[in-house]
Amino acid sequence: MNVFASFGAFLGAAALAGLPVPTLQTAVSLRDTLVGGRGAAEIARSLCDRVGPRLAGSNGAVEARRWAVEELTRLGLRNVHEESLMEPRWVRGTETAEIVSPVRQRLVVTALGGSGATPEGGVERPIVATRDVETLAALGAAGVRDRIVFFTERTERTRDGSGYGKAVSIRYAGPSEARKLGAAAVLIRSVGTSSTRLPHTGVMKTEAGIPPLPAAALSAPDADLLERIAAAGPVRLRLTLGCRTEADVAGANVVGEIRGSDRPEEIVLLGAHLDSWDLGTGAIDDAAGVGIVGEAARAIVALSRPPRRTIRVVLYANEENGDRGGEAYRDAHRAELDRHVAALEMDLGTDRVYRVAASGGPEANGVVAAAAQLLRPIGVSERGNDAGGGVDVGPLRAFGVPMLALAQDASRYFDFHHSADDTFDKIDAANLAQATAATAALAWIVADEPGTLGRIPPEKRKERAW
């Protein structure tokens, strides 16, 4: 694609947003240079292959931080450093499940993050099947006490991830709600869209000073089996989990910058999370996001001039099982949050961006319109003014920091995430390049244009990930 192909088509949008022609011209150049590259995939490959699983509190998380400092430095960012925090250490142990009666059937399970352990030898109880937290409440303590609660809700496959957004509340809140009613343990149908016999883990809610219930996810075929047998009559099941929670350990976010030329104190934040679950190698969740923001930053560093504002890349710790990375960044940078012009988080895998959106003041509308027109040639067909942000940048929302969003097609993302199947072979280099091109172009526009996106109005500052 010619660097200036269809450039005239963008001038109307540029005028609408008050964008200088050189700003938009450079954004077009970034778009066209990156859309056919492999840099993001190579960064993701390096993280997966050199580090592998990197759950917060593990040795893998330590190695990931070392890798990140080295990688951001190699990519040309300045002021690369770690910002310390304390993160949880939860250790997975033995995990087995078996239907004891009316037939004997072994089931494939994995413990939820933060789960408590069963007694040695496991817990054997009748199961009670229920769809979700609402139907659980309707059963009351009499229908739940001293049983294993089995949540059967399925995750709908959707392009925008809303099916996951609906089902994940069961994984998060289901065990604690079942504990309040006296349950002995919890099983959930994996919050994912895969039909393989590979269960998906994920964090569950825990409360300080209250022992967490043993809780595990069933692979989809085994959840189907258990649901069929339970529909025919009473079922007794044995669950054994050997997981444990240990004392918090030292962790850190890893930060690097492209220093702005005219307004270096104003910041455009590009984020992804460095940690992963322990079952796979965290390829789509979130080595892909690390690759996107890293390669976008490398391409901007390579330009003949820096943007007017500083672009700050933040690779967050502990997104998966504690959200402490996002909270620690908010607390460490509270004094400068009024100078954060925008925040963009990439954490939805390896597939193509189809939508650009922002949440800010009225000023954001023109910038998003220009960005949408700029990105249309690479397949970004939708735009909006409702960017949610994400888990890591979400804590900034309460301070009015504008959120940017590049929505990726999530149709296949939940086949793999949080499972042993989240490995580098799932990375689609061409789709990842398109997402990287969109990220770099959008980041450049916001960092280089004279105006800002305003601030999120107070009535819209409630944190939300979707």
**Contact (CB, 8 A) for 218 and 191:** no
**Contact (CB, 8 A) for 334 and 307:** no
Identify the sign of the CA torsion 212, 274, 278, 67: negative
- Which pair of tokens denotes residue 436? 């990287």
Choosing from 83, 87, 319, 345, the catalytic residue is: 319
**Contact (CB, 8 A) for 324 and 253:** no
Distance CA 406, CA 65 (A): 26
Q: Which of 53, 62, 58 is closest to 82 using CA atoms?
A: 62
DSSP H helical segments within 130-275, as ranges?
A: 133-144, 162-180, 220-232
Place of tokens 């990140």: 68
Compute CA distances 13 → 17, 27, 363, 369, 444, whole Å. Answer: 6, 13, 13, 6, 16
Q: Is 134 a catalytic residue?
A: no
Peptide bond into 421 cis (omega under 30): no
- Which pair of tokens denotes residue 283? 């390829």
What are phi and psi for residue 430, nearest 5 degrees? -70, -45
Q: Which residues pair with 208 in a beta bridge?
A: none
Distance CA 112, CA 283 (A): 20
Distance CA 152, CA 129 (A): 7
Q: CB neighbours (10 Å) of residue 451? A: 14
Amino acid residing at 434? Q
Q: Give the dihedral of Cα atoms 335, 338, 339, 343; nearest 10 deg.
A: 110
Q: CB neighbours (10 Å) of residue 146? A: 11
Catalytic residues: 319
